[in-house]
Chain A
Amino acid sequence: MSDTYFYIFAAITVASALAVVFKRNTVGASLAFLLSLCGVAGLFLQLDAQLLAVLLVLVYAGAVVALFLFIIMLLNMQGGDRPVFKKMTIVSSTIAGALLLTGVYLLAKRPELARLPEAGQPASVLLDLKIYGAKLFTTYLLPVQVVGFLLLIAMLGVIVLSKKFEGLEDVK
């Protein structure tokens, strides 16, 4: 039964991810992205990672894609008649795809993978959230801070790029 669910969600995820790339209509592509995220959330649920699934839906499906749509609609972006792929894009994406596939293949062939310990249920489902939070603020504090710092840099970059600093020559 769970295999069937896995195949359903995997098919939704992959098919809609392909649709994101190939759809010419930008709004349609964003909605396909939304569907893809929902498929991934379903896969997370299969793995008993309810929190992750819910956070994915809440943050990405609920807010980020809505923001994408907002920007698309605000700027009135249309697909237009330009070719979907430039030559450069095809070459680079082929290389990137090949690298990714190789990486996944090598990872799957690693002997350690076969001997990974059973994930097992957390001691109590109720404890899940608390453990998650505790890990985030103790063991993985550094990655969290780094990611936060990265986001801060991105935000500053956006402000510098988009804001017109008139009369402030030194900023330019």
Chain B
Amino acid sequence: MSHTYTSIGWNRQKRVYDLVMVAGIVAFLALFAGLGSVVHPNATIETLLIRGFGTLALLMLHVVLIIGPLCRLSPRFLPLLYNRRHLGVTMFLVALGHGGFSIFQFHALGELNPLVSVFVSNTRYSSLSNFPFQPLGLFALIILFLMAATSHDFWLANLTAPVWKRLHLLVYVAYALIVAHVLLGVLQAETNPILAALLGLGMALVLGLHLVAGYRERRLDEEVKPKTADDYVDVCGVDEIPEKRACIATLAGERVAVFKYDGKVSAISNVCQHQNGPLGEGRIIDGCVTCPWHGYQYLPESGASPPPFTEKVPTFNVRVANGRVLVDPRPNKPGERVEPTSVS
């Protein structure tokens, strides 16, 4: 939530996170170069760094990608999500190290422009084992650059969350390009089965977790709730909602979060205005619905962020009958106040 512009809202947690991350990167590269020089004594330091940066970027991309589905499957992983963008931007810088060193080492010493050389030095597109894998990595790097450059909330606010999310879904295209870059590049030369097995394991983890989380989300989307005569939807029992938490239901194709707090219930859209996070998986803190992803807050009765913040989400009319919570699926305007319904 930013009512004034600050480049990064630093806090202690973010500083510690970044320090640990940088220390981890330095340790990984030192270990990789040290072990590499023992196992391959003829390898130059440039070669070891190219491989070290590449391996680390691939590892970090896998971590970045599994955080999302892990959080969908269990809220225990939510703390990992808070600084995911820092991890993503750092991963881009590490990948840039790999790409930069590679282009310098393999393409900068000829007469051609190094970037042109990446595309014309190998044109065996019809061969799988000799496929020009370097352009795949370069395309992935361009996507990662676009994502890193627009990762700040400034761009999120200007592009709007849906456009920003569409742009950032390109990470899956980048992932496919990078996996192809590795499979058709280093794994064609290095025939050690452990390397292929590790990549297969990473792919299985990323794809498997996404598919399982997607299957669960789909079930929630397709759930049909009973309706009353005036088109209100029976969402759940009052007793089923824990205090200061919500029950989520899909009404007219969109998700609604019904919160119970202080003997009352209120319903707002489940979609946070920041990054479209699931508000219904958050809880009420200091009287505000708090998004579990990045802590954006909304008043449950109006769907508006407390002043001075300006974000607003739609509200829904609610009533309670026979211990059941009934919600009108037609949304009110974002920020429109609806008197909370007493559960007694």
A binds B: no
